Structure 1
Amino acid sequence: MPSPHAASPRRAASLALGSSLLALTAAQAQTAPPTTGTIDLDTITVTATKTPETAIDALSGTSVITREQIRRLQPSRLSDVLRDVPGVTTQENQNDPAQAINIRGLQDFGRVNVLVDGARQNFQTSGHAANGVFYLDPELVGGVDITRGPTSTIYGSGAIGGVVAFRTRSVDDILLPDERMGAVQKWSFGSNGQRFLNSTAVGARIGTAADIFGQFVYRNATPYRDGGGTLVPDTGSELQAGLAKVNLRPADGHEISGTALVQNFDFTNRGSSNAGARFANAVAADTYTLGYRFARPDVPLIDFSAKGYTTTTHNRLTFLQDTASGLYGQLGARAGSRLDYDIESPGFDVHNTARFDTFALSHALTIGGDGVFDRVRTSDQAGGFGAAFTPSGTRTLTGAFIQDEVRYGGWLRVIGALRYDQYELSGGTYRSSGERVSPKITVGVSPLPWIELYATYAEGYRAPSVTETLVQGIHPFPAFTILPNPALRPEVAHNVEGGINLKADDVLRPGDAVRAKLNVFANTVDDFINIQTVGPTYFVPAIAGIPASICARIPGRFPCVIPVQSYQYLNIAQAQLNGVELEGTYDWGGGFATLAATHTQGRDRATGQTLLTVPPDRISTTLGLRFLGGDLTLGTRLTFVAPRRDVPAGSTVLATRGYGLVDLFASYQATDRIRADFILQNAFDRRYTQYLNLLPSPGLTAKAAVSIKFATQ
């Protein structure tokens, strides 16, 4: 670990740069031209209602992340940008490129519906980390659309936490409207493990009849050091990815679209905490979609969309080295033994929106249905623990919905919706099924042109997953038993939410803009599913590798001296989650400032115990200044996270201290063809571990990127 004296010049330089930015703010506020930049909350969203509207106008906790924000921050993981969204956090293993999204304290097993180009991402393996992750490199992402809470009734089964929809890049991300074909070549280099990134994107428009897009991404990362200078093993990985898109418009209003996304990740680790057996991982995460849409202004009764997709995630693990106890070897695993996790999720989404008037009321009536069919297959010749804790099985989720958005007089909006959900689950000799109708009602009132208030009551329904129902096996060490539970009941969320949307221009000076959203929510989840201890206490060996069966003969005597209970997924009576979220932007042309704040509480109402998945309070803010007519942007991002210490003893979740992070960034559009980006992450080299993660996060990291564009008109 470096001495404080060795680190002080670096920290002093970061402090000096941050002070310089603050000094520039005062000067820029007086001299900047009144040209307003693009505001994220003015970006179009569809996750709240399936009908296009800006995020600031959505009557829900809706946020967006634009491509420009992703380019500016140069994220190595999507968690780098998601932390700027209120109510949203992530859980990840730093030694695995996958990540899980947590919304308002809910995550795992599909509670957050993650979509990539409309295709659900349902991959899950059990361990000491998140139970539901997805693989997607941020360089492939063109934008993110997020709606928090079960208010998005018509956007898929199970989303009692919310919906996160990722849009991959397209031809519009690299070509201006008057450009016919072109390419963008990007190279990025970094420190602290961020070695190299190559992104090559090409696209072409064939008049208005068609467009095509392709992208190749290669990313190479090596193990990083945390803020204390300690090397964190196995935190490197290699990615090779390809993306292809085509859109055909055979006639006015008709569009046929197809997407193929292929990602291959290679990495090695010793499990989520780097303390288990060593495996080489080869992950193939592929998504294919085919869609059709008809929409034309002169046919208001038809805005029809149909999409079919298939998502496959396959993780091939190769056993390399055992733990110190030799436990895997005793169970027959040898170097080269294989463990395969595979999930295939074909699905569909079909809906139509009809727009019409009845007297003074304007309607947007949406009717549709969706479905996803999960097939989980685990093949384990490396000890058997993988097959036990991520069992094979199938689950079918189907649903139908109807929603009417009603507007009156420009000041009143009412959204009413009903969703019918049905599921079937099977594996081995177990079968289960269920169905339910979930309502939603939202009322929005705009007493003044710049303010809108709304209130929502919405319900959501989540079927048990294959793992929660069928998991069965013995934990490696200590050797307690995990039991299946085919009698699990689905979770039902009841969410009450209120909010205020503010939208005003020319507030302090001509050309400036203010956008802000404030949400308050209370979400009660009946039959919340959580893993619990069950049954009597029994003794297991205190020495790894000794068979647990020996303790049936000599309980309570050496080596059988560790008291344990079995575990099982159970329905607890109720989980109560409530909180406040604030998101705002002020843009004055010469610069911008953003703020996102989150406060969430969650507990088991039966026991009063705090839910472990509830993240600590967080505030993040970004200040950016524009120079040289907007070609140069300098800025800083600050993140403050409260401690989370109320973690029960013996939990695999670690208590965390509070921390603050400072990032510094610069973007320069040298010409209309050349752009350079630089970012200094964790500028003060703070040592910290994000809550729910088991490994410390990276220390000071610098990244620089150059993008060169070639285009013809």
Structure 2
Amino acid sequence: MNKTVLAVAVSALCGNVHAADMSSTPSQNTSVSQTNVVMVTAQKIEKAPYEVNGSVTVITSDELEREGATELYDSLKNIPGVSVSGGAGRPQNITIRGMRGNRIKIIEDGVETGDGYGADDLSDKVGRNSFDLSAAKQLEVVKGAGSSLHGSGALGGLIVITTKDASDYLTPNKNTAVEVSTNYVGESDKLKGTVNLAQRIGSSEHLIRYSQWTGGESENYTGEVYDRDVDGFDLSLTSNFYIGEHQEIKTKVSYYEDTMDRNDHDNYKSGDFNENTVTSSNKYQATYLYNDADFVLFDDAKVLGYYQSTKSNNNKTRYKTKLVQNINYKFLLLENGQFDEEKVGLKTEFQRHLDNQNIVWGVDTVFKEHSRTLGKAIISDGSTSTSQTNPFADANTFNIGLYAHDDIMWDAWDIGFGVRYDFHQLTPKDKNQLASNGYNFALSDTTSSEISPSFSIGYNFTDELKTYFSYNHGFNSPNYAKVYGYVPHDGVPPFEIVPNYNLKAETSDNFEIGVKSRMGIYSVNAAVFYSDFENFIRTKQTGMNSDNGRITIQYVNLDKVKSYGFEMGASADISETVTASGSVGVVTAEEENGAYVETSTPWEGNLALHYSQDFDAFVRWNFAAAMNKVPTCSDGECVTTAGWGTVDLGLSYEPITDLFISGNLNNLFDREYVRYQDVGGMSDAQSKYNAEAGRNFNVFVKYNF
């Protein structure tokens, strides 16, 4: 695999590929957009970020390339109110304004990514980042609930990823385009190569994309993290078929695979431990578009059908030695855990454009199948014992949602209101499946439903200054793993997590007041926010199983949680070539009794100077205050963090036409520090590997033929 990656990387610099330019262009393709105007699509009705009555951050592919970002935590780390824990080779959890895990919805090209299955919304992995970031045209980060448009899962916010298609490479006079690129990321020793081939054939356009990578886990400061090797690839074909002047069919087929191999673990000798995890996702989707129809009910229509399969296969091999009557016996423990999620769905979206008014409405439906199995084998002294269990019952999920949203422009006022109804049903495939694990009770179906309204109002004092207020209701239906999980632990003390099919849906009420200004050389966005979360799902000790002596623990609707904070971003054009910018934010999350929640963040942000003329460059100071608003752990107060500051440098340059090079030097002064979001809720003993990487660099090279 390494040779293939190197070959792709080298081709970015010395490839011998000829791209033909053709003068003939089908009339159907004259509408292909070549604009660089950034628009927000997460609101269904496209707007510029300034026009949205709320906090939305858009990150373009150009910005990702200048930063050398290849992971979610790279791309989102400079957004106030947003943090991503983990790194390459480790689970990456997105936290938005105090909410994380499956309470944050990730949507790629209209389709929600797969489920994450970390315990208690920690360490979510499968589905959370089973996509290649280099395919992204732009990322949209919506802070606060998005359930009135996107339904369950958008309780605390959402990430919307739009990937590139052929129109991003072709022009009316260019029917073939080839782009090759390579990345090197020093923090994880990751080398990545990508090839994009775009081709126009008659009245259709096609993009074939292949990306491959090899490397390791993101390093900590001392280099003492677990030794993980990470390899993977991503392959996709996107096609646009233009039918006359108003209709289009867009199809996409993609396959993603990422392999992690780990060969060390605490308390194991070298060679006595191995873990191999293969995560894969394949997706098939087709979208029908009808634009400028001028019908009574809609002008523009979009119908999206899709199938997606997400899988994880985790294998562990462990050697253990046990002393029996003064004789050491060596045991070989083999463990295989599998996660499978399949879903098929249909989404519709209809828009009607009237004078000073835009209306969007539609219906979304999806059917999912979930399966998680755990197989174990113990080999000792020539004998083998095996077991096969389902720690979580196989289940089906059915969702349907109906929504409508209206935007009205009246004099200096922008008014938006919407509502969505969602129905959610969970059904176990076998109501007695957990009996093989020792849970001798039949499982039941569970349903939940919710009406999620939203309202916003903005006032434009001038074309360059506005203020706004927004309210959004959030909704998150109970996850099958929390409803149908039975996981026994025979440690000290022994306990078991038992099903709870009486769980209610989590809900949130999100309020925000903000101001946006773009006066002359200055630009300012500032907001204060407050969110209430009810029926918050957490684990709680609910009793004792007298039959086996285990403590019983369930996911229950226990807590009310609130989060509040402040965010601000500003920039100023000092001269024609130099711009100063900065951002700062803080999030405080508390339980009803006033105890802090681990998803709080300290005051943190950055200040930067950007230069742009013959080349682009920046210097940025990243900072965070000390954090002592922490929850209580079992052995006392959870870990706190000290304040820190680091400096990053970046340079990007086009030495010749169509060749782009960028380089970044991160943590210039080799500062040792810990980000609170990486250790929030941990004890000191658990946080030993979480100091950030020392001085490191990224390089990105791209050439267009």
TM-score by length of 1: 0.81
The Cα shift of 1:247 comes to 0.7
Match of 2:513 in 1: 498
1:160 aligns with 2:152: no
Residue 584 of structure 2: which of 582, 594, 597 is its match?
597
> What is the alpha-carbon distance in structure 2 between the residues aligned to residue 665 and residue 144 of structure 1?
21
Task: Give identity over the alignment, percent.
Answer: 19
Residue 263 of structure 1: which of 240, 256, 265 is its match?
256
Cα deviation code 1:102-130 (max 9, x no counterpart) = 11111123x11101111101322234833
The Cα shift of 1:279 comes to 1.8
1:534-545 mapped onto 2 (5 Å cutoff)? 534-535=542-543
Aligned AA (1:210): S
Match of 1:615 in 2: 601
Structure 1 residues 636, 325: CA separation in 2 closer, same or farther (over 3 Å shift)?
A: farther
Match of 1:353 in 2: 351
The Cα shift of 1:566 comes to 3.8
The Cα shift of 1:476 comes to 5.5
Match of 2:292 in 1: 296
1:10-409 mapped onto 2 (5 Å cutoff)? 43-47=38-42, 49-92=43-86, 94-96=88-90, 98-109=91-102, 111-127=103-119, 129-131=122-124, 133-151=128-146, 153-175=148-170, 178-206=173-201, 209-223=203-217, 225-228=219-222, 230-269=223-262, 278-296=274-292, 301-322=298-319, 337-357=335-355, 362-382=356-376, 390-409=392-411
1:670-681 mapped onto 2 (5 Å cutoff)? 670-681=655-666
TM-score by length of 2: 0.82
> What is the alpha-carbon distance in structure 1 between the residues aligned to residue 387 and residue 518 of structure 2?
54
1:641 aligns with 2:624: yes
Structure 1 residues 528, 171: CA separation in 2 closer, same or farther (over 3 Å shift)?
A: same
Instruction: Confirm or deny: 8 A CA contact 2:151 2:475 kept in the other structure.
Output: no
> What is the alpha-carbon distance in structure 1 between the residues aligned to residue 252 and residue 242 of structure 2?
15
Instruction: Confirm or deny: 8 A CA contact 2:147 2:473 kept in the other structure.
Output: no
Moved segments of 4+, more than 6 Å:
270-277, 297-300, 323-326, 383-386
Cα RMSD after superposing both structures: 3.1
Aligned AA (1:503): R
Match of 1:14 in 2: none
> What is the alpha-carbon distance in structure 2 between the residues aligned to residue 481 and residue 692 of structure 1?
28
Instruction: Confirm or deny: 8 A CA contact 2:151 2:420 kept in the other structure.
Output: no
Structure 1 residues 368, 701: CA separation in 2 closer, same or farther (over 3 Å shift)?
A: same
3-state SS of 2:376 partner: coil
Instruction: Confirm or deny: 8 A CA contact 1:60 1:151 kept in the other structure.
Output: no
Instruction: Confirm or deny: 8 A CA contact 2:236 2:254 kept in the other structure.
Output: yes
Aligned residues: 624
1:659 aligns with 2:644: yes
> What is the alpha-carbon distance in structure 2 between the residues aligned to residue 236 and residue 426 of structure 1?
38
Cα deviation code 1:608-665 (max 9, x no counterpart) = 211222333321333221232xxx1111233212343423223897543333232211
The Cα shift of 1:597 comes to 1.9
Instruction: Confirm or deny: 8 A CA contact 1:263 1:285 kept in the other structure.
Output: yes
The Cα shift of 1:199 comes to 0.9
Cα deviation code 1:512-543 (max 9, x no counterpart) = xx3332222111111111223333699xxxxx
Structure scoring higher RCO (CA < 8 A, sep ≥ 6) equals: 1
Extract unaligned runs of 5+ from structure 1.
Answer: 1-37, 327-331, 508-513, 539-547, 553-563
Extract unaligned runs of 5+ from structure 2.
Answer: 1-33, 324-329, 378-385, 432-442, 679-686
Worse-matched range after superposition: 116-125 or 566-575: 566-575
Aligned AA (1:525): F
Instruction: Confirm or deny: 8 A CA contact 1:530 1:571 kept in the other structure.
Output: yes
Instruction: Confirm or deny: 8 A CA contact 2:226 2:264 kept in the other structure.
Output: no
Structure 1 residues 321, 115: CA separation in 2 closer, same or farther (over 3 Å shift)?
A: same
Structure 1 residues 244, 657: CA separation in 2 closer, same or farther (over 3 Å shift)?
A: farther
> What is the alpha-carbon distance in structure 2 between the residues aligned to residue 405 and residue 291 of structure 1?
25
3-state SS of 2:50 partner: helix
The Cα shift of 1:565 comes to 5.0
> What is the alpha-carbon distance in structure 1 between the residues aligned to residue 533 and residue 673 of structure 2?
32
Structure 1 residues 286, 100: CA separation in 2 closer, same or farther (over 3 Å shift)?
A: farther
> What is the alpha-carbon distance in structure 1 between the residues aligned to residue 663 and residue 320 of structure 2?
41
The Cα shift of 1:415 comes to 0.8
Instruction: Confirm or deny: 8 A CA contact 1:93 1:272 kept in the other structure.
Output: no
3-state SS of 1:687 partner: coil
Instruction: Confirm or deny: 8 A CA contact 2:105 2:159 kept in the other structure.
Output: yes
> What is the alpha-carbon distance in structure 2 between the residues aligned to residue 616 and residue 387 of structure 1?
42
Match of 1:690 in 2: 675
Aligned AA (2:658): R
1:556-635 mapped onto 2 (5 Å cutoff)? 566-587=552-573, 589-605=576-592, 607-628=593-614, 632-635=615-618
> What is the alpha-carbon distance in structure 1 between the residues aligned to residue 346 and residue 124 of structure 2?
24
Match of 2:525 in 1: 517
Instruction: Confirm or deny: 8 A CA contact 1:188 1:705 kept in the other structure.
Output: yes
